[in-house]
Amino acid sequence: MTAEYKVNGAVAVITLNNPPVNGLGHATRSAIVEGMKKALSDNAVKAVVITGAGKAFSGGADIKEFNSPKASAEPSLHTVINVIETSSKPVVAAIHSVAMGGGLELALGCHYRVAAPGAQIALPEVKLGILPGAGGTQRLPRVVGLEMALNMIVSGTPVPSEKLAKTALFNQLAEGDLMEAAVAFANKVADVRPLPKVRDIKIDYPNYEGFLQFSRNTVKAMAGPFPAPLKCVEAVAAAVTMKFDDGIKFERDLFVELVQTTESKALRHAFFGERAATKVPDVPEDTPTRPIKSAAVIGAGTMGGGIAMNFANAGIPVTILEMKQEALDKGLATIRKNYENTMKKGKLTPEKFEQRVGLIKGTLSYEEIGQADIVIEAVFEDIGVKEQVFKKLDEVMKQGAILASNTSTLDVDKIASFTKRPQDVIGLHFFSPANVMKLLEIVRGAKTGKDVLATSLQLSKKIKKTGVVSGVCDGFIGNRMIEQYSRQAGFLLEEGCLPEQVDKAIEKFGFAMGPFRMGDLAGNDIGWYIRKRRYIEKPEVTYSKTADLLCEMGRFGQKTGAGWYDYKPGDRKPYPSQVVNDMIIKHSADLGIERRKISDQEIVERLVYALVNEGANILEEGIAMRASDIDMVYLTGYGFPLFRGGPMFYADTVGLQNVMMSIEKYAKGHQGVAWKPAQLLAKLAAEGKTFN
Ligand code: 3HC
Ligand code: NAI
């Protein structure tokens, strides 16, 4: 039963019981109505209390039901709320832990609300690209005021119940046992009539027009490609400008409109994608994990420093090991400076600054790290250096320690073979800057222990990363795909594009940064180094030589003051470069290519479908467990536009047959050999199916 019914003296208690968060799916909604019917027909019952079992009052409508007939099947949430609001006996919501979305709307339909302190109160629908669709936009302003309601609805941010204690949202904040307080409250108000209804409260805000106009302007400027935030303002405005029932209808229409948008579907995909990524079919949730109370990092360079900060931020002491004192001092100084900058921006208190810096130690001696629960290697990307380090780690680390590598391209199984404990070895691939970027690729080797994988997934949560499991292959999920994207970007230059055209087209599509601006930021020499290896190892794979020519000119990017673009001292803004553009045009001529005008659509399709096609290969090979994992990698690590849901989800929205047709067309063009349609893509397209 998804809601339990019990009678406690003169009070009936309906307890939502739909784990994990008492989502208001069809069965739960029906059970609430059943409970209400029982309470209303039982003469001994004078009042009703509604609460939630487990870890939430209610997390809201069941998002999994959206876009399915169950979502609107009767009793709808509107009907449930109506049954409660029009009940002839008082209904009290007993709120604890979480009251979000439809959960809060349900509570707003009750006559009274008693809350425990520390409960998270929110209308977070906007984060899913929708708006509260069961009266939230009409009722919340009536109890917490227009401004506060608008802020809560437009931001979706939870507010702790004690912060709302003085508003009409709560009749009582229960310091002791919540249920005792709620039942006592229900007994107290059992005979009070008329029953108070939030819908009857008048919103008192004389200059509401000015405020709403101001809100429209600010929200419009911040909403980007998402339609929901502005619709939230319009719905809240209706709470002041329309009669209650008209406002409810207006809100409902906007909800129905938004729930069908691709932007909302993309946000919901990301919500579930993030949670699905933590699940590995053969590693059940009860797999034992190893405690991580201390950590060590090898190498205090760009990555090592950022990785160490993640541990300190999570309160875990970490020791960084370097070869030379100078490199160690430099690394520690960079970390300190990073924290100082955060403190200067007011985002870190002096106490926290001291605490975090105090958790990071430096050493030159392996003996000092032997007792760490986990060690993450972030030394040069060279298999010989990795071999030395892992042999040493095998000697000094205590039994049971996790030995991780931050390698971006090297074979984790080979690295594991340098030790006598391959079950303890795993790849933990952070992204630069490692203290900022959300993505953590967790690379599962052939012999990685299940407990090591489970611990790594748990750790990713602890250090606030989105952990995505990848199998072992060159570049793992993210970099293996980006290579195909970069190859297309290079070929586009040979055929007729200039860097700024490519960057602008893909940035207009929504990417945070185009491939050439990105190259200048990350350093073009990194790709050069990788390609030189590829030319030997995989001579059959073709690349545009333009990027090599650029590096031969010494133009490594921002760090050398020049890359695909020119840079002025102290200014990160890219300026189109005449010398580079001349070099590109000359290179086309040297290849005998007649340059042509290329549309933005072609640029976007070639870059994005290159990701999709390789993503399909990765999925088919089992390197990624599911398409949404690939999307999470791209949303959290590569600046893929969130409103498009990730490359695989985007391909689904375009239609896989359309993607296939374009790929087949490009396969006939310049460097068409780069387009070998993935079998999985071809199969799904032929069957009219999708990745997700
Ligand atoms: N519907 C369906 N499933 C939900 C859900 C919901 N509203 N909220 C959470 N879940 C599921 C998650 O998918 C996850 O499932 P899994 O275990 O199978 O992966 C499980 O509940 C636990 O979720 P979390 O890992 O996020 O648990 P936390 O304890 O960290 O957080 C939470 C709990 C704060 C409730 C968080 O899950 C959350 O923010 N949920 C979304 C809340 C939301 O957006 N509600 C509005 C829904 S839309 C709505 O109500 C429309 C209405 O206005 C008509
Ligand atoms: P880096 O060159 O900035 O830092 C490497 C550090 O390791 C240097 O400080 C060096 O002194 C130290 N070091 C080298 N050999 C050592 C040894 N034997 N013992 C102890 N310290 C040693 O390199 P970066 O960029 O930090 O990369 C490190 C690793 O992280 C590489 O495997 C790289 O592929 C990977 N990586 C890099 C990313 C990036 O964007 N820079 C992103 C993700 C992974």
Distance 413 CA to ligand 2 centre (A): 19
- pLDDT tens for each residue of 615-660: 999 999 999 999 999 999 999 999 999 999 999 999 999 999 999 9
Closest-approaching ligand to the CA atom of 384: 2
Average pLDDT over residues 386-415: 97
pLDDT band at 603 (very low <50, low <70, confident <90, very high): very high
Average pLDDT over residues 118-126: 98
Q: Evaluate whether 318 touches 308 at the Cβ level (below 8 Å).
A: yes
Query: What average pLDDT is seen over the chain?
Result: 97
Catalytic residue among 85, 105, 494, 602: 105
Catalytic residue among 125, 263, 494, 602: 125
Question: For the chain, what percentages of helix, strand and coil (3-state, to nearest 5) are there?
Answer: 55, 10, 35
pLDDT number for residue 349: 96
pLDDT surpasses 90 at 526: no
* Minimum CA distance residue for ligand 1 atom 42: 59
* Minimum CA distance residue for ligand 1 atom 38: 59
* Minimum CA distance residue for ligand 2 atom 9: 301
pLDDT number for residue 553: 97
pLDDT number for residue 88: 98
pLDDT surpasses 80 at 599: yes
Average pLDDT over residues 478-485: 96
% of the chain with per-residue pLDDT over 70: 100
pLDDT number for residue 139: 98
pLDDT number for residue 317: 98
pLDDT number for residue 131: 98
pLDDT band at 534 (very low <50, low <70, confident <90, very high): confident
47 lines ligand 1 (CB under 6 A): no
Instruction: Give all strands of the β-sheet with 159-160 in edge-to-edge order.
Output: 98-100, 120-122, 159-160
pLDDT number for residue 319: 98
pLDDT number for residue 58: 98
Q: What angle do CA 648, 652, 655 make, to 5 degrees?
A: 135
pLDDT band at 20 (very low <50, low <70, confident <90, very high): very high
Nearest 10 degrees: CA dihedral of 183, 189, 194, 199?
Answer: -50
* Minimum CA distance residue for ligand 1 atom 19: 275
pLDDT band at 570 (very low <50, low <70, confident <90, very high): confident
- pLDDT tens for each residue of 63-85: 989 878 998 899 999 999 999 99
21 lines ligand 1 (CB under 6 A): yes
Closest-approaching ligand to the CA atom of 18: 1
393 lines ligand 2 (CB under 6 A): no
Domains of the chain: 3-259 (3.90.226.10), 295-470 (3.40.50.720), 478-687 (1.10.1040.50)
Distance 145 CA to ligand 2 centre (A): 53
pLDDT surpasses 80 at 243: yes
Distance 310 CA to ligand 2 centre (A): 16
pLDDT number for residue 92: 98
Three-state DSSP state, 427: strand
- pLDDT tens for each residue of 503-514: 999 999 999 999
- pLDDT tens for each residue of 279-296: 999 999 999 999 999 999
Establish whether the linkage from the previous residue to 194 is cis, with ω within 30° of 0. yes
Closest-approaching ligand to the CA atom of 279: 1
Question: Which atom of ligand 1 is nearest the CA belonging to 123?
Answer: 46
pLDDT number for residue 22: 98
pLDDT band at 665 (very low <50, low <70, confident <90, very high): very high
* Minimum CA distance residue for ligand 2 atom 40: 432
Q: Evaluate whether 183 touches 48 at the Cβ level (below 8 Å).
A: no
DSSP tag of 563: S
- pLDDT tens for each residue of 94-108: 999 999 999 999 999
307 lines ligand 1 (CB under 6 A): no
pLDDT number for residue 632: 98
pLDDT band at 406 (very low <50, low <70, confident <90, very high): very high
Question: Across 162-253, where does the E strand assignment appear?
Answer: 172-173
pLDDT band at 197 (very low <50, low <70, confident <90, very high): very high
Distance 379 CA to ligand 2 centre (A): 3
125 is catalytic: yes
Three-state DSSP state, 118: coil
